[in-house]
């Protein structure tokens, strides 16, 4: 199974989870680049504002073509109750090239249902696996088990893994 983990990370948590998933599944990995400085308090505030308004923003063209992969695993932080704008832009730009996908997010405590409903308006198929790791899961180290369950769910759904 040829798979690609595509993610955006402002603070590094989503990047850490993306790396673990890619390593455990033997997936290739690519970070979305939007050429914006999102560091510090001002970066946090402007990122949240963009996400709240659900604005698509310019992103760098991917080095890897999603159409060449059987599975795309998408990872995003949650900003202001929405997916990050770089991932929103990725989904809108590459939706025609995504055959099968899984989705994970990192957040302080947001509910993923609203995001999944919005995602259905962008990508016609539903994700084969979903994971939302919140602050408490990181703090108590529950995210390790959650990642294992997410990976097992993907493997269960995809024959020949």
The pLDDT tens digits along the chain (161 residues) read 899 999 999 888 999 999 999 999 999 999 999 988 888 888 888 888 888 888 889 999 999 999 999 999 999 999 988 999 999 999 999 999 998 999 999 988 767 777 888 888 899 889 999 999 998 898 899 999 999 999 999 999 877 66
Count how many domains the chain has: 1
Q: Residue 13, class by beta-carbon neighbours within 10 Å (0-12 exposed, 13-18 middle, 19+ buried)?
A: middle
Domain of residue 14, residue span: 3-157
Tokens 């369950």 sit on residue: 149
State the CATH number of the domain containing residue 94: 3.40.50.360
Q: Where are the alpha helices (DSSP H) in the chain?
A: 13-25, 40-52, 85-94, 112-120, 135-139, 143-157
- Rounded Cα distance between 3 and 22, Å, is 9
Taking the whole predicted model, whether its pTM rises above 0.85 is answered as yes
């Amino acid at each position: 199974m040829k798979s690609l983990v595509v993610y955006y990370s402002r603070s590094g948590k989503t990047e850490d989870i993306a790396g673990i998933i890619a390593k455990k599944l033997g997936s290739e990995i690519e970070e979305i680049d939007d050429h914006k400085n999102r560091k510090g308090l001002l970066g946090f505030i402007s990122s949240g504002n963009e996400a709240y308004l659900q604005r698509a923003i310019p992103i760098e063209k991917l080095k890897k073509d999603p159409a060449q992969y059987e599975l795309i695993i998408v990872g995003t932080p949650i900003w202001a109750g929405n997916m990050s704008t770089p991932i929103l832009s990725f989904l809108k730009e590459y939706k025609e090239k995504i055959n099968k996908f899984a989705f994970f997010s990192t957040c302080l405590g947001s509910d993923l249902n609203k995001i999944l409903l919005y995602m259905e308006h962008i990508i016609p198929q539903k994700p084969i696996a979903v994971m939302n790791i919140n602050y408490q899961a990181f703090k108590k180290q529950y995210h390790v088990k959650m990642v294992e369950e997410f990976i097992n769910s993907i493997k269960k759904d995809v024959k020949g893994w």
